[in-house]
Amino acid sequence: QVSLVESGGGSVQPGGSLRLSCAASGYTYSRVCMGWFRQAPGKEREGVAVISTGGSWVSYADSVEGRFTISRDNTKNTLYLQMNSLKPEDTAMYFCAADNRPTCTRSLSLREPDFPYWGQGTQVTVSS
């Protein structure tokens, strides 16, 4: 049974940093691409960042490029999202998700239909 559990959310002032983690179990973690998504109140869920199976390839949404860094540790079955220079508009529920398409590394995606497995989310609030 696939399980994805996010942690590390919280409240931070603008300009601050947070590091999210996502612990995965129930499947061969190193064989799937992983992504972070977020959903702000009243808005649709959006893709934030995605990483290939081995971690060599990444892609970011324009809104977080240069501020967020996605990484993974395949020895610990854990996904990370380092978030720096946080802005109030980064306030959202953050979700990790798994893309198990065999071609995911060759075609990194931030499309929700490509991610069949999701965590429950962790809240990030950026406010002064």
State the pLDDT confidence band at 116, using cuts at 50, 70 and 90.
very high
Alpha-carbon gap, residue 68 to 8, rounded angstroms: 14
Please classify residue 91 by burial: count the beta carbons closer than 10 Å to its beta carbon, then call 0-12 exposed, 13-18 middle and 19+ buried.
middle
Burial class (CB in 10 A: 0-12, 13-18, 19+), 111: exposed
How would residue 1 be classed by pLDDT, with cut points 50, 70 and 90?
confident
Q: Residue range 26-40: average pLDDT?
A: 93
Would you say residue 30 has pLDDT above 90? no
For the segment 100-118, the average pLDDT, to the nearest whole number, is 94
Residue type, 54: G
Q: How confident is the model at residue 124 (pLDDT cuts 50, 70, 90)?
A: very high
Mean per-residue pLDDT over the chain, rounded: 96
Write the pLDDT tens digit of every residue in 56-107: 999 999 999 999 999 999 999 999 999 999 999 999 999 999 999 999 999 9
